[in-house]
Structure 1
Amino acid sequence: MKIFNNFTLPNNYKHCALAIGNFDGVHKGHKKVLNESKILAKKNNLKFGVMTFEPIPYIYFTKKKNYRINSLSQKIKFLKNQKLDFLIIKKFDKKFRNLGYLDFLQKIIQKRINTKYIFVSKNFKFGKNRLGNTVKMKKLEKEFKFSTLVTEPFKLKNKIISSTKIRKLISQGEIKKVEKYLGRKWEVEGRVLRGFRRGRKIGFPTCNIDLKNYIIPKNGVYAVNVSCEKVFNKRNGIANIGYRPTFNGKNLLLEVNIFGINKNLYDKKIQIEFKDFIRPEKKFKNVSELKKQIKLDIKKSKK
């Protein structure tokens, strides 16, 4: 998969089938769109690609920090798994946000990329002030020499799968449902930070991770899988997301206890897969009670 950070594509990547969207989560609904695009591209002997935006436009406009299902590197990895020929990651900035929808279609879609087939969702909006939509795209097809394919939402048991729905489920701790909608376990990645080493002092060493721009899951304890490239493969563990009320913590933190690993992982990048929600976060009377509960959490996570 070739990655472009602008609209200057080599000639052999032009005249293509292109899916446009945020693709946050690369969930089953996205995969449906990508599969349809891929089949049409292959049938017409065209390159097949995706155009996405960084930061996600919603984050750019609202300045909301905790919103993403996946990081950019995860998005790239999951899209690569879909066997794209190319990926365009366009920086969403002031200049691009002020580009009118007609200019986008004429100057970029027609002239720069020479797109033949565009795949978008029914609620796709684009251009300055979001004035562009699928109805206008359909009307302009002949003029700009492309065909618009509006994809139907993917449903699972009559429920539409969307990134918005998945974010809500994550915030509610509905990790099993999230896994069904994504088609894989929800995963967070980040570098291990130095903390107060309280976990080690009470016999349960943890890796501390900043959630950065990820959507915040329901506070509490989770059963997880953890991996660290070139250090160890997937291992079981438990994770706590919250403020550590027993220690009067004030900053939100993701802490992970990895079973069978007692190495210094500071500054190492780890991947955390969420398997199940165990219990909400709780303030304990003392450290002894906390240790008893952690032992129960570990036991439950192994079932």
Structure 2
Amino acid sequence: MKIYNQLSEFKKLDHAVVTIGTFDGVHYGHQKIIRRLCELARATGGESVILTFFPHPRLIIDPENQDLKMINTIKEKAQILADLGVDHLIITPFTRDFSNLNPEEYIQNVLVETIGTKHLIVGYDHRFGKDRKGGMPELEVCAKKFDYNIEVIDEQDINDVAVSSTKIRQALLTGDVALAAKYLGYHFSLQGRVIKGDKIGRTIGFPTANLFVEESYKLIPSDGIYAVTVDMEEGSYKGMAYIGQRPTINGMTRNIEVNIFDFNKEIYGQDIKMSFLEFLRHDVKFTGLEALKEQLKQDKENTLNFFKKLSQNA
């Protein structure tokens, strides 16, 4: 997959099959759109193109509200889209000027004259242009004028609940990583560099790798203990992760740590990927390190039981 960080980097195609959106999470509903995009590109002899935006449009349109966090970093999103078979990914810096394009200017200048759109695939609720005034009526009028076809993908449901990035964020913020995985079609993950901590975990028999996530816009799940898998240079391992401020030792900052099972190598400075499979319990303040140690023993047993059941049901 070719990646472009500006529209100006993209060379207009003769037959572009295009879809547009932020695609945060690249969830189950997004995946149906993208698979159809790639299928149509193959069937028509065209090339699949995704036009996405960074930063998220809501952060530009409503700059006072910086609480919005993303399910994927831009790098994670690009990898998922590449795995789905997309040919071209255009990451457009979303600016005030861009947001002020009226619907027809947006279609003509961006979709037609810059990208070369011949087929456009959009979700049922797609909105675009200044004040999000553009929708299906504008797309249909311009389709005749600029000679492109439109295909609309219906809303996707899982267990009678409409899939949306907002619902996935809500699930993660309450720790329900299993529900998030059902919506996403894969396990939510955090990726980052292993940094040095204060090594308290080692003193009680539970050494942890401390994870630093560089992207401040990346969503971090609710505080608590989770069953996770950890992927790194040495391979893939099971483990239990902790997110929280370590109240038992009166911690002042929020930490992301993982106790990797059957692993004792130094991995400082290495990048790892931690995938969240199951929420085990909320963060609790214990009376001291001995009480914490006893709870961690139980947490590890619960985590191993989870993985045992998972393998039995596979």
* TM-score between the two structures when normalised by the length of structure 1: 0.93
8 Å contact kept, 2:104–2:142: no
Counterpart residue type for residue 95 of structure 1: D
8 Å contact kept, 1:4–1:88: yes
Alignment of 1:67-216 (within 5 A): 67-211=69-213, 212-216=216-220
| 2:222 alignment partner, SS class | coil
Task: Please name the residue that 2:229 is paired with.
Answer: 225
The CA deviation at 1:262 is 2.2
2:278 maps to 1:273: no
- Pick the aligned partner of 1:236 from 235, 238, 242: 238
Task: Please name the residue that 2:308 is paired with.
Answer: none
RMSD: 1.7
8 Å contact kept, 1:227–1:271: yes
Structure 1: gaps of 5 or more residues: none
Counterpart residue type for residue 222 of structure 2: K
Task: Please name the residue that 1:57 is paired with.
Answer: 57
| 2:263 alignment partner, SS class | coil
Q: Which moved more, 1:119-128 or 1:276-285?
A: 119-128
Distance across 2 between alignment mates of 1:133 and 1:197: 55
8 Å contact kept, 2:11–2:115: no
Q: Which moved more, 1:111-120 or 1:58-67?
A: 58-67
Task: Please name the residue that 1:299 is paired with.
Answer: 301
Distance across 2 between alignment mates of 1:215 and 1:142: 41
Task: Please name the residue that 1:39 is paired with.
Answer: 39
Aligned length: 300
Distance across 1 between alignment mates of 2:260 and 2:68: 25
Task: Please name the residue that 2:310 is paired with.
Answer: none
8 Å contact kept, 2:18–2:50: yes
* TM-score between the two structures when normalised by the length of structure 2: 0.90
Distance across 1 between alignment mates of 2:160 and 2:85: 28
Render the CA deviation track for 1:81-133: whole Å, top value 9, x for unaligned: 11111111111123323333222111111111120111122222222222222
Counterpart residue type for residue 215 of structure 1: L
Aligned-residue sequence identity (percent) comes to 35
Distance across 1 between alignment mates of 2:238 and 2:91: 34
Q: Which moved more, 1:158-167 or 1:58-67?
A: 58-67
Counterpart residue type for residue 186 of structure 2: R
8 Å contact kept, 2:227–2:277: yes
Distance across 2 between alignment mates of 1:76 and 1:199: 35
| 1:153 alignment partner, SS class | coil
